A and B are shown apart, each in its own frame.
Chain A
Amino acid sequence: MTKPTKPTYQELHDKLDAVLGRLQASDVRVDEAVQLYEEGLALAKTLETHLQEAENRITELKLQAGKPAAV
């Protein structure tokens, strides 16, 4: 299972949205714009890698002796 510290796809996606929103603000300074651009590119790269390369992992759990069927 994914560790809770690792951000989820949705969290990264929301962050990219926030970066785009900030970059579109009228008061953004040029040094901040450069930083936002680089951060946005890195986020897009992480999201792309997740969508292209991550694997689904199936773990089979043995059914523990549950309550006996009543029907």
Chain B
Amino acid sequence: MDEGLSFSVGEFVALLNQTLEFAYPTATITGEVANFKTSKGKWVYFDLKDESATVRFFGTVYQLPGPIENGMMMAVVGSPRLHPLYGFTVNVVRMRPVGEGSIKKAAQLLEAKLAAEGLFDADRKRPLPYPPQHIGLVASAESAAYKDFIKVLNARWRGVAISFIDVQVQGEASPGQVVAAIDQLNSLAQPPEVIVVTRGGGSAEDLQSFSTEQVTRAVAASRVPTIVAIGHEVDISLAELAADQRASTPSNAAELLVPDRRSRLADVYAAREQLARDAQLVVQRLAHELTGLHEALHSATAHIFERSRQTLDAQRHILQAYDPHAALQRGYAIVRSGSAGAVIRSGSSVQAGAALDVELHDAHLTMTVKQVTMKGGHDD
């Protein structure tokens, strides 16, 4: 019998590892997780098993997609190795849950963990600018989601600058690209006012990228407010929970971001009409004020005239009372000297034989004085 090659133990292990590394530098092994445990918060040990076999795996917590539980189906990319002391093991490169059930379970565990950290808290949500002038867009250029978002945005609003980064929205490279795109938009010299992350619907596996821990954390950590719209209305990814706002579809994201310009145009037209009405009201108000002033002026003038007229009437009455002709009516007479025409006020200025003029109310009498008798009893 051929005894084959001969080695020391150490040489044998080294040769097997060389052979394994040459034949299977990495391999993807899918199976159910068992005996999962962590050590010192850093090292991870678990088995993958199926009906016929069990294989041991070793890795670090940083390679986990999120919390892991026994019973979950995982696809693990790893390098098979024979450890000199502990035997055969597969060193983990990366791993992800597979199958609807495990993906959901993984998402639930991750959601619970991130929720406990407060990533989804309502008080973390920031208001989005409305409407923004600069939007960052993370999507796949070929996707219906991208086309729908741009179409609705163009229909609704104008004058927006969109900084777009084309990324894979499913597959292994997707989470890293989405995270890098969010970081890149945040690092722009003039960052956008809001970042939109979007893709259309798909299977739980297709949408998985947006429920990974790294994408969810990148959305939550973005300094620029975020709006995330992934998949259908019913599937809510963890990235959507971490976003400042969630939209049900890519079109809905555009609707939430900007107003409908037709309604805003109607507002502008209404404002213009209001402007004309208000200006007219100001003119009317001022005209009314002028009329009021005019009336007040008129009324004040009329009052002054009335008072003057009353004063004048009173003066006229007084004048009438002192009119000498009125006394002649009552039987008095005015006696004047016939030659000089001076009014005779005293008998002492008249001598017998003088000619006098006596004025009655309706006639002048020419008289000659026969005798002057002064009151007091003696003749002149």
Contact = CB atoms under 8 A, between A and B. Distances in A.
B133 A2 contact: yes
A44 B275 contact: yes
Contact of B212 (A34, A44, A67, A71): A71
B82 interface: no
Interface residues of A, number: 46
Contacts of B177: 63, 66, 69
A59 B165 CA distance: 9
Interface string B152-169: 011001111111111100
B265 A48 contact: yes
Interface in B4-43: none
B67 interface: no
A41 B94 contact: no
B163 A59 contact: yes
A33 B281 CA distance: 10
Interface stretch (B112-120, B179-187, B227-235, B306-314): B179-187
B175 interface: yes
Contact of A66 (B94, B141, B180, B283): B180
B321 interface: no
Nearest to B138: A63
A71 B172 CA distance: 6
Contacts of B209: 71
B134 interface: yes
Nearest to B273: A44
Contact of A23 (B63, B172, B176, B275): B275
B164 A61 contact: yes
A37 B159 contact: no
Contact of B164 (A28, A59, A69): A59
A53 B158 contact: yes
With most chain B CB atoms within 10 A of its CB, the pick from A13, A16, A34, A66 is: A66
Interface in A33-62: 33-34, 36-37, 40-41, 44, 47-48, 50-62
Nearest to B285: A26
Contacts of B205: none
Contact of A30 (B63, B174, B180, B286): B286
B184 A61 contact: yes
A70 B161 contact: no
Interface in B281-303: 281-283, 285-286
B279 A51 contact: no
A51 B158 contact: yes
Contacts of B166: 60, 63
Contacts of B350: none
B190 interface: yes
B305 interface: no
Nearest to B66: A71
A12 to B, nearest CB: 10
Interface string B71-83: 0000000000000
Interface in B51-73: 62-63, 65
With most chain A CB atoms within 10 A of its CB, the pick from B134, B176, B212, B214 is: B176
Contacts of B179: 66-67
Nearest to B154: A56
A10 interface: yes
A64 interface: yes
Nearest to A22: B278
Question: What 4 A-B pairs come out closest when comparing CB atoms?
Answer: A66-B180, A69-B176, A54-B159, A54-B158
Given A24-B278, A54-B158, 19 more contacts: A2-B134, A26-B285, A47-B268, A48-B268, A51-B265, A56-B150, A57-B162, A61-B165, A63-B165, A63-B166, A65-B180, A66-B180, A67-B180, A68-B176, A69-B174, A70-B176, A71-B94, A71-B96, A71-B175
Interface of B: 62-63, 65, 94-96, 130-131, 133-134, 141, 150, 153-154, 157-167, 172-177, 179-181, 183-185, 190, 209, 212, 214, 261, 264-265, 267-269, 271-272, 274-276, 278-279, 281-283, 285-286
